[in-house]
Amino acid sequence: MYAILDIEATGGKKGEEDIIEVAIYRFDGKKITDQLISLVKPDRKIDAYVQKLTQITPKMVKTAPKFAELAKRIIEITDGAILVGHNVDFDYRMLKQEFKKFGYSYYRETIDTVPLSEKYFPEAASYSLGKLTKELGIPISDRHRAAGDARATLELFKLLLDKDYHKNIVKKENKKNESTSTKFLSYYEELPNSIGIYYVFDKNKNVIFLSKATNLALNVRKMLMGKSNLSNKIRMGIDSIKYQVTGNELISWIKENHEIKRLKPSLNETNRKIEFPYGLYIEIKNGYKALILQRFRKQENGAIIKFTSLSLGQKLLSLITEEFELCPKLNEISKTEKCLSYEVGECFGACEGIEPVQEYNSRVDQFMEKIQLEGKSFLIIGSGRDIGESSFVWVENGETQGYGYYELNHQIKGLKRIKERMIPIENDPDINQMIKGFLFTEKYKDLINL
């Protein structure tokens, strides 16, 4: 199975681009069995050069889904498939880069049609997609748009499969399938593609490893097929695997953190301290309160929020800036000389000293009030394990007490009902930090103050 893809991006410095359009055709070697075509709302501006090349404008992507909304669909349509693209390294890097922003390790094997074209069409004048397809008589519409380029790549790939007399391309797919048809297949073939946590047991029924997973089947498969020392140790010691669906990432993270400390699996770092190398700080610029993301520094006031990675910090700072209508230039998200948000009417002019300081700082104070956990008690309502079920995480007086599930609202009305359904955990500063950040991920359904 193949997944023919093409991606258009915002442009910019390598590693800082965002996807603005994606097209994927799932291809079984004979016909298209599934497809995904969508614009994507980026977190950064689209370069002028890219707008001219692709004709994709900021207005077009303004109401498009964000990558996080398409992520599950992308995982599904490429599951068990080899990614095929023209200069596929770029498309694959962009996917991995976007998934990494929310802590997901995306892995697929790839086939690049450029070297294959060089091999099977040695007389071609050029191997750029536009010129090569024209020379081969392959019709291409919507050049430099994801759907048009992906469809042209698909037609090119069909020709390459026909020219591949020795079936080397198919052999690569068969080799991939054989590698997954090992004795380890039974451990993950029945696992769901759901968010949860899995436990690896040895022959003595002891848990030797456990981990959260955004996709249980995919994560376990990757773990068992990996080449790391940890994967080798797990393969040597595994006797069985059990799992629990959690319904959402926050509970997976809390449960993993809690269970490692409770069970002390031999292959987990049982005494690990979660690292938060980046922090969000307030700096005064001409009277305005700017939110600045920097490496964690020990100072009297400390960080407002701490982050496990730079990409997570950047993502959440963008969400905070958008939600509270703050200035991206003041918050150092935008590195341009002029504030583009002000020029298009999305910034009220703090960067130019136009907006009154008091009005701007009042919105920063609103953010500070939202992020303040001390003394607050509330429930974070999220997705449940099944349709019709919801989950909750209970924070009381700024400390996380536990989590649980319910089907009807009256089942969590009052502290007594909450405690009846709650799985308690020990208070952990690391969890409280993660909850601060989670409040801005837009991944929960509701926040109920108690």
93-102, 190-199, 395-404: lowest mean pLDDT where?
A: 93-102
Is 217 within a domain?
yes
pLDDT score recorded for residue 297: 61
pLDDT at 182 over 80: no
Instruction: Give yes or no: residues 40 and 124 share one domain.
Output: yes
Is 268 within a domain?
no
Q: Higher-confidence residue: 424 or 172?
A: 424
Percent of the chain scored above 90 by pLDDT?
22
Q: Higher-confidence residue: 74 or 447?
A: 74
Each residue's pLDDT tens digit, 15-72: 788 899 999 999 888 888 989 999 999 888 888 888 888 888 888 988 999 988 888 8
Percent of the chain scored above 70 by pLDDT?
92
Is 272 within a domain?
no
pLDDT at 300 over 80: no
Instruction: Give yes or no: residues 122 and 51 share one domain.
Output: yes
Instruction: Give yes or no: residues 173 and 308 share one domain.
Output: no
**Over the chain, what HEC string results?**
CEEEEEEEECCCCCCCCCEEEEEEEEECCCCEEEEEEEECECCCCCCHHHHHHHCCCHHHHCCCCEHHHHHHHHHHHHCCCEEEECCHHHHHHHHHHHHHCCCCCCCCCEEEHHHHHHHHCCCCCCCCHHHHHHHCCCCCCCCCCHHHHHHHHHHHHHHHHHHCCCCHHHHHHHHHHHHHCCCCHHHHCCCCCCCEEEEEECCCCCEEEEEEECCHHHHHHHHHHCCCHHHHHHHHHCCEEEEEECCCHHHHHHHHHHHHHHHCCCCCCCCCCCCCCEEEEEEEECCEEEEEEEECCCCCCCCCEEECCHHHHHHHHHHHHHHCCCCCCCCCCCCCCCCHHHHCCCCCCHHHCCCCHHHHHHHHHHHHHHHCCCCCCEEEEEECCCCCCEEEEEEECCEEEEEEEECCHHHHCCHHHHHHHEEECCCCHHHHHHHHHHCCCCCCCEEEEC
Is 402 within a domain?
yes
pLDDT score recorded for residue 179: 46
Selection from 82-91, 129-138, 207-216 with the highest mean pLDDT: 207-216
Instruction: Give yes or no: residues 173 and 187 share one domain.
Output: no
- Select from 147, 178, 209 the last residue of a domain: 178
Each residue's pLDDT tens digit, 351-390: 999 999 999 999 999 988 887 777 788 899 988 988 889 9
Instruction: Give yes or no: residues 88 and 236 share one domain.
Output: no
Q: How confident is the model at residue 415 (pLDDT cuts 50, 70, 90)?
A: confident
Range of the domain at 436: 378-449
pLDDT score recorded for residue 170: 60
Instruction: Give yes or no: residues 10 and 59 share one domain.
Output: yes
Instruction: Give yes or no: residues 150 and 220 share one domain.
Output: no
Instruction: Give yes or no: residues 168 and 45 share one domain.
Output: yes
Domains of the chain: total = 4
pTM: 0.51
Instruction: Give yes or no: residues 11 and 126 share one domain.
Output: yes
